[in-house]
Amino acid sequence: MRGVVMAAIAPVAAVPARGLPRRASSRFPRGSPRVRLAPAPHRTSSLRDRVGTRYPSSEVRTRRFAAASDAPTAPDAAPDAGPDAAPAPAPARLDLEGDELVLVVGGAGRVGARVVRRLASAGARCRVLTRDPSSKAATALRDACPPGTVELARGDVTEPGPKGDAALAAALLGCTHVVACFGAQRISKIGDVLGLGAPETNDVTHPAAVNFRGVARLATAAANAGTVRRFVRVTGMSVGYHPADPIAVLLNAVLSMTIKWQLRGERAVRECGVPYTVVRPGNLLDTPRPRGSVVLVGHGDAKVPAGKVSRDDVAEVISVATFAKNCQNATVGVAGAPAPTGGIASQMAWDPARGMHYVAVEHEESVREGDDVAAMLEGVEADVGELRDRRHFPFVAAFVAALFGAATLATAGLVAAARALLKL
């Protein structure tokens, strides 16, 4: 079902601006890193108005960082990447301070495992919190990393009471950083929309239990540990979208209001008292970055087009941002584009005269694109202002009501047609 949802969202989330010529950029002189800042923010125009515009191409170059280990390629590079995959970049040097011990919650998952391997190859020790340390995924991850760099600990952020708190406290003992890359993937039930059975409090698989209360419990335990210098939370790109955004509405409707609870989890992380970093990836790819594609990185309230991005690139963003000083108390969005965009993306819009149509939207000023993740992260700045809660439910309720109304009308039409045929 998750694949069905992502397939439905992908055409809306990452529509290339076809027919738009590349835009010149004079922000970086010749020889600068391959990082392109987008033009002025929030200017929109229709694709029809843009087609005749000509932009000269800009010359950019790639900046590489010295590897933090002797590994000749990135530690998460797939051995069977194939001819369509972009060459694996040399891993960037991480700003480690002495003997780092990182607790990775969700470390046996598809993103978490990449983060663990990346950190272990860079010289950091990792402790992976998992419900079952003897599982095949957990033991395989430990055995794939350099000896002595990865240990497994049992724990569950949704386990309340003294036993659960003691497990988290034991897992956090001596940890300098926490990376929380877990989340609920629960398909909506009728009770989520009608408010029946209080699933938000009675179901431990509900996003309210995992994305909010579990995150808050982990953040509080990290603050109480007294040794944690950074708490890194991985959520999703749509957490920063307006509640009326079609992607946010669809995800909330299908996945039990997951965006609402991810947002509340982010707020709990900000309020725990430990310096934080929030990473919001777009639609995730299991394969390496496709050849010719680029990565988009933004920070703060900037809306990054939610294109497909390789889990390898997301893991690199998490790994670098965990220790980067300028990423402290910052929110980082990361996505991808199949080709350089020139600072322009196309997205769906609606107005009474034209209905649903695509418009060309220039990236915001703080959004950068390129193929050097570490160089783009150098432009990240700390968040300004507080993260406010948003009212998601009214838009989801309106969407569900519209679907129900459409289904009712369609059913009535079919019944009327059937009756007409029977009278013939």
Question: Could you report how far apart the first and last alpha carbons of the chain are, in Å?
Answer: 42
Does position 79 have pLDDT exceeding 80, yes or no? no
C-beta neighbour count of 358 within 10 angstroms: 16
- Which pLDDT belongs to residue 11? 43
Lateral strand order in the sheet of 355-362: 44-46, 355-362, 344-351
Query: For 137-159, b where at least 16 C-beta lie within 10 A, e where not — what string?
Result: bbeebbeebeeebbebbebbbbb
- Which pLDDT belongs to residue 77? 40
> Can you read off the two tokens belonging to residue 86?
């972009």
How would you classify residue 82: left for phi > 0, otherwise alpha for psi between -120 and 50, otherwise beta?
left
- Residue entry with tokens 């497994």: 152
Express each pLDDT in 403-413 by its tens digit.
Answer: 888 888 888 88
Distance CA 70, CA 96 (A): 16
Percent of the chain surpassing pLDDT 90: 50
Express each pLDDT in 11-22 by its tens digit.
Answer: 434 434 333 333
| pLDDT, mean over the chain | 80
Strand partners, 233: 180, 278
Tell me the fold of 2-11+66-340+365-423.
Rossmann fold (3.40.50)
Strand partners, 177: 102, 230
Express each pLDDT in 205-225 by its tens digit.
Answer: 999 999 999 999 999 999 999
- Residue entry with tokens 């540990």: 225
Query: Cβ-count burial of 368 within 10 angstroms (0-12 exposed, 13-18 middle, 19+ buried)?
Result: buried
243 phi and psi, to 5 degrees?
-55, -25
Does position 272 have pLDDT exceeding 90, yes or no? yes
Strand partners, 96: none
Residue 210 carries which side chain, given as an amino acid letter?
V
Does position 324 have pLDDT exceeding 70, yes or no? yes
- Confidence class of residue 2 from pLDDT cuts 50, 70 and 90? very low
Query: For 2-36, b where at least 16 C-beta lie within 10 A, e where not — what string?
Result: eeebeeebeeebbeebeebbbbebeebeeeebbbb
> Can you read off the two tokens belonging to residue 280?
């919001």
Q: Return the C-alpha torsion angle 111, 293, 246, 42, nearest 10.
A: 120
Query: Cβ-count burial of 378 within 10 angstroms (0-12 exposed, 13-18 middle, 19+ buried)?
Result: middle
Residue 311 carries which side chain, given as an amino acid letter?
R
- Which pLDDT belongs to residue 236? 94
Closest CA to 279 of 238, 233, 325: 233
* Helix 136-144 vs helix 110-121: crossing angle, to nearest 10: 20
Chain CA centroid to CA 110, Å: 13
Sign of the C-alpha dihedral, residues 220, 223, 226, 228? positive
Half-sphere exposure for 421 (CA within 13 Å, toward CB): 6
- Which pLDDT belongs to residue 259? 93
User: Is pTM beyond 0.85 here?
Assistant: no
- Which pLDDT belongs to residue 13? 44
Mean pLDDT of 38-65: 35
